């Protein structure tokens, strides 16, 4: 094999290595972006739970200012409806967070799978360098 063909092969392997490293970084960047969304949803879920707890506390309190059954017939049913809506939102946030968590794991796994190819390309580059004596 001539020096020029070794240099060409070395250039090709280095290009392949750069491409594989860029692919890996792309997966890691995507996982990090999804993680940011996950964290935001986690904060939103915490806030929703806090609001729900405040509404529940309000609904369980005793209000002497209400006359008759106004609270029981007018306000309490709406509070339970509101609590139910919070439950639905919290459930949906949890479901979506679980989906995001699976996507984060999938992109991290794709990034880790690039390591084998990166190792092989580094090995091939080192072998070419040793053969040529560069």
CATH code, domain with 66: 1.10.287
Confidence grade of residue 131 (pLDDT, cut at 50, 70, 90):
confident
Q: What is the pLDDT of residue 1?
A: 64
Helix ranges (H only) for 61-75 are 70
Which carries the bigger pLDDT value, residue 59 or residue 13? Answer: 13
Give the H/E segment covering residue 19.
helix 3-60
Span 69-95, mean pLDDT?
88
DSSP letter for 65, please: S
Span 12-34, mean pLDDT?
96
Q: What is the dihedral of CA 71, 77, 82, 83, to 10 degrees?
A: 100
CA distances, 51 to each of 43, 61, 113 (Å) = 12, 15, 43
What is the number of structural domains in the chain?
1
Q: What is the pLDDT of residue 62?
A: 77
Cα–Cα distance, 47 to 65 (Å, whole number): 29
Q: What is the pLDDT of residue 129?
A: 84
Asked if the model's pLDDT at residue 36 lies above 90, the reply is yes
Domain, as residue range, for 18: 3-132
DSSP letter for 74, please: I
Asked if the model's pLDDT at residue 14 lies above 80, the reply is yes
Cα–Cα distance, 56 to 50 (Å, whole number): 10
pTM flag (> 0.85): no
| Average pLDDT taken over every residue of the chain | 90
95: left (phi over 0), alpha (psi -120 to 50) or beta: alpha
Smallest Cα–Cα separation from 107: which of 44, 23, 45, 19? 23
Cα–Cα distance, 13 to 99 (Å, whole number): 37
Span 8-32, mean pLDDT?
95
């Amino acid at each position: 094999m001539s020096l020029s063909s070794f240099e060409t092969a070395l250039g090709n392997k280095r290009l392949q290595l750069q491409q594989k490293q860029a692919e890996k970084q792309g997966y890691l960047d995507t996982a990090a972006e999804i993680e940011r969304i996950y964290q935001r949803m986690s904060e939103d879920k915490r806030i929703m739970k806090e609001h729900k707890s405040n509404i529940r506390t309000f609904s369980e309190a005793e209000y002497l200012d209400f006359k008759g059954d106004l609270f029981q017939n007018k306000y309490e049913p709406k509070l339970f409806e509101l609590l139910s809506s919070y439950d639905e939102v919290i459930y949906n946030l949890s479901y979506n967070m679980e989906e995001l968590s699976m996507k984060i794991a999938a992109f991290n796994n794709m990034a880790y799978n690039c390591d084998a190819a990166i190792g092989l390309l580094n090995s091939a580059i080192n072998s070419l360098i040793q053969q040529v004596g560069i």
